Amino acid sequence: MNEQKRHSAVIIGASLVLSAFVFGGFYYSAQSANTKDSLSVTGSTKTRVTSDQAKLSIVLSRIVFSTELGVGYTGVARDLALTENMLKKYGIATSDITEGPVSMNQVYDQTNSGQIRYQLNQTVTVQSNDIQKITELSKRVPDLASQGAVVSIQSLEYFYSKLPDLRVSLLTDAVMDAKARAEKIALGTGRSIGAVQSASSGVVQVLSPNSVDISDYGNYDTTSIEKDVMITVKASFRLK
């Protein structure tokens, strides 16, 4: 009877300790008596970076009846010429411009008039390291409408090209954070930590400033120039 009570007390006590550590963002792994104890901790680090590449996608679009496809293609070509002139005005290099082919999709008539219409689209993409120039350019694209062009901004995206190198340094910082957490936890139990038994990194999170919109699969925010890059590491330390 006493033996059963002793086992029950051990199980309940271990459960309470485990629950406390899990809710604190880490957990304590109590192993069998013939092995050394270990402590698993999640460390993290975050830093603010500034995007160094921008990508602007401009869409030229015309909707015409099937009998006026030639007129539609001519209109798209005219809009393309106007767009090219604007890009040249802003000093965009030809090597930074990609002009896609003209695509055609049927527009279904909701009025049941029986007339077939098609939408012609062409995408012009501008990529540059000059963030401010591309941002200013995106604000000027609607001005082409005053010249009769049918254009719109499909997307404006910002990227950070040095992310692979940054990830290496962040991993080091995250491991140090995990070690600091482990030392405090071990100190509270009257013990100290030893060598790292294992470590694994989480996915990189590239977030808009002060965002908490993280994902198990990682995030890459392209809407903001300033970004927060965060990474987590789960490390297991031997307890002494």
Q: What angle separates helix 69-89 from helix 131-140, to the nearest 10 degrees?
A: 140
Tell me the C-alpha distance between 165 and 162, whole Å: 6
Per-residue pLDDT of the chain (240 residues; tens, 9 = 90+): 444 444 444 333 433 333 333 333 333 343 333 345 889 999 999 999 999 999 999 999 999 998 999 999 999 999 999 999 999 999 999 999 999 999 999 988 766 667 889 999 999 999 999 999 999 999 999 999 999 999 999 999 999 999 999 999 999 999 999 999 999 999 888 889 988 888 899 889 999 998 888 888 889 999 999 999 999 999 999 998
Of the candidates 43, 137, 42, the one whose C-alpha atom is nearest the C-alpha of residue 83 is: 137
The pLDDT assigned to 222 comes to 96
Number of separate helices (H) and strands (E) present in the chain: 4, 11
The answer to whether the beta carbons of residues 43 and 176 sit under 8 Å apart is: yes
Tell me the C-alpha distance between 206 and 189, whole Å: 36
Which residue is it, tokens 């970076």? 49
pTM of this prediction?
Answer: 0.77
The pLDDT assigned to 113 comes to 67
* Three-state secondary-structure class, residue 45: strand
Which residue is it, tokens 């501008």? 126
Max intra-chain CA distance, the chain = 95
The pLDDT assigned to 10 comes to 37
